[in-house]
């Protein structure tokens, strides 16, 4: 089974001026046609999944309206994603988006699980909060009790958001204080990937996904492979999850291409000279889906 553990969904009717400006900046940075990431659909995502052989995809709702204006508030966005999951239950798994500063954050978790059937939580600290702030501990306690995994953004963030809140090391304190809480760090913490690897290696309940690393695959592939092998050596392949961040970064490498990066990965000659071992077929299967399957309890 292949599982994409990091994907977003919207359609052009949801795109306000704030969001369009942000996506247009992304498009200029990636040197792509903006319509490729603005005018997207569930049908296109399913088509891309089928071409790549992806069985299931985790759809991540985002709570961004404390910093960016949108056509949906955070509860409505959770409902929007839930309706897609309900329509395609065999293909999608829903993660709710909640800003930890919300007064009724715990109530929204319970609503999203009990009424909408979500399987996890997406945190986006780029809007302006440190995830290791102790005032959020009642939230983590409840999520841990409900045995929900958290996928937390780490690394670079979009224009008009805050970079300082995204360091992987902020996950360390939460992981230590809530050892039964499974936490996935998005994007392997890029550009703080060594910090992400150290945090993941140290904490049994912390994992990383490889979404957004299509940039390195396109422009600096040696860094991608070096980081993957570094992560394997330090953390083990069981701590790495496949993720795409569709639709934005799949403009650089399609879902099929991105799956094949893992399926056909061979150790670079320079790393082979250093004595670093290759990824086995079993380890590639772990990354492509087995790890996510265990975390999600599928």
Q: Provide the token pair at 224.
A: 């991608």
CA nearest 150: which of 98, 194, 192?
A: 98
Listed ranges 110-124, 221-235, 274-288; the one with the highest mean pLDDT: 110-124
Q: Provide the token pair at 3.
A: 């599982």
Burial class of residue 16, CB neighbours in 10 A (0-12, 13-18, 19+): middle
Q: What is the mean pLDDT of residues 122-128?
A: 96
Percent of the chain at pLDDT > 90 equals 76
User: Is 80 exceeded by the pLDDT of residue 88?
Assistant: yes
pLDDT at res. 193: 97
User: Is 90 exceeded by the pLDDT of residue 282?
Assistant: yes
What's the pLDDT band for 30 if we cut at 50, 70, 90? Answer: confident
What is the rounded distance in angstroms from the CA atom of residue 102 to the CA atom of residue 104?
A: 5
**Could you give the C-alpha distances from 103 to 9, 150, 152, 166, 181, in angstroms and in order?**
26, 19, 19, 22, 22
pLDDT, mean over the chain: 93
pLDDT at res. 138: 98
What is the dihedral sign for C-alpha 112, 196, 214, 256?
negative
The domain total for the chain is 1
pLDDT at res. 93: 98
Q: How many CB atoms lie within 10 A of CB 20?
A: 13
What is the rounded distance in angstroms from the CA atom of residue 246 to the CA atom of residue 239?
A: 21
Pick the range with the lowest mean pLDDT from 13-27, 33-47, 165-179, 256-270: 13-27
Q: Length of the chain, please?
A: 298
The CATH number of whichever domain residue 163 belongs to comes to: 3.20.20.140
Half-sphere exposure of 210 (CA within 13 A, CB side): 34
User: Is 90 exceeded by the pLDDT of residue 197?
Assistant: yes
pLDDT at res. 25: 82
User: Is 80 exceeded by the pLDDT of residue 274?
Assistant: no
Better-scored residue on pLDDT, 48 or 70: 48
Largest CA distance in the chain: 54
Alpha helices in the chain (DSSP H): 17-30, 35-38, 42-52, 74-87, 105-114, 137-145, 169-177, 193-202, 214-219, 221-235, 255-263, 269-273, 281-285, 291-296
pLDDT at res. 224: 93
CA nearest 148: which of 113, 177, 124?
A: 113
What is the rounded distance in angstroms from the CA atom of residue 76 to the CA atom of residue 103?
A: 16
pLDDT digits (tens, 9 = 90+) for 157-170: 887 789 999 999 99
Burial class of residue 247, CB neighbours in 10 A (0-12, 13-18, 19+): buried
User: Is 90 exceeded by the pLDDT of residue 20?
Assistant: no
What is the rounded distance in angstroms from the CA atom of residue 228 to the CA atom of residue 241?
A: 11
pLDDT digits (tens, 9 = 90+) for 57-67: 999 999 988 88
User: Is 80 exceeded by the pLDDT of residue 268?
Assistant: no
In angstroms, how far is the first alpha carbon of the chain from the final one?
11
Give the residues across from 59 on adjacent strands. Answer: 7, 94
| Residue range of the domain that includes 43 | 3-296
Rounded to 10°, the helix 193-202/221-235 angle is: 20
pLDDT at res. 256: 97
Burial class of residue 14, CB neighbours in 10 A (0-12, 13-18, 19+): middle
Pick the range with the lowest mean pLDDT from 36-50, 59-73, 198-212, 241-255: 59-73
pLDDT at res. 67: 85
What is the dihedral sign for C-alpha 61, 67, 71, 72?
positive
Phi and psi angles of residue 112, each rounded to the nearest 5 degrees, phi first: -65, -30
User: Is 80 exceeded by the pLDDT of residue 203?
Assistant: yes
User: Is 90 exceeded by the pLDDT of residue 68?
Assistant: no
pLDDT at res. 250: 87
């Amino acid at each position: 089974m292949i599982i994409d553990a990091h994907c977003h969904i919207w359609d052009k009717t949801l795109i306000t001026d704030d969001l369009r400006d942000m996506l247009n900046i992304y498009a200029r940075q990636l040197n792509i046609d903006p319509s490729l990431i603005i005018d997207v659909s569930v049908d296109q995502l399913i088509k891309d999944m089928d071409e790549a052989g992806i069985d299931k995809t985790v759809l991540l709702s985002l709570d961004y309206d404390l910093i960016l204006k949108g056509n949906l508030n955070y509860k409505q966005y959770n409902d929007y994603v839930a309706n897609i999951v309900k329509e395609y239950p065999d293909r999608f798994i829903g993660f709710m988006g909640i800003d930890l500063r919300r007064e009724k954050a715990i109530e929204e978790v319970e609503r999203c699980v009990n009424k909408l059937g979500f399987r996890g939580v997406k945190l986006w600290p780029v809007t302006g909060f440190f995830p290791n702030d102790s005032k959020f501990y009642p939230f983590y306690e409840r999520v841990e009790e409900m045995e929900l995994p958290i996928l937390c953004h780490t690394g670079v963030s979009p224009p008009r958001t805050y970079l300082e809140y995204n360091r992987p090391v902020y996950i360390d304190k939460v992981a230590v204080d809530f050892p039964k809480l499974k936490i996935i760090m998005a994007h392997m913490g890029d550009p703080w990937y060594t910090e992400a690897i150290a945090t993941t290696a140290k904490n049994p309940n912390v994992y990383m996904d490889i979404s957004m690393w299509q940039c390195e695959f396109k422009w600096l592939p040696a860094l991608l492979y070096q980081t993957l092998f570094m992560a394997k050596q330090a953390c083990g392949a069981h701590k790495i999850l496949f993720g795409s961040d569709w639709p934005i970064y799949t403009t650089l490498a399609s879902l099929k291409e991105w799956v094949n990066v893992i399926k056909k990965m061979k150790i670079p000659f320079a790393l082979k000279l250093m004595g670093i071992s290759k990824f086995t077929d079993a380890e590639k299967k772990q990354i492509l889906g087995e790890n996510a399957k265990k975390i999600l309890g599928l």
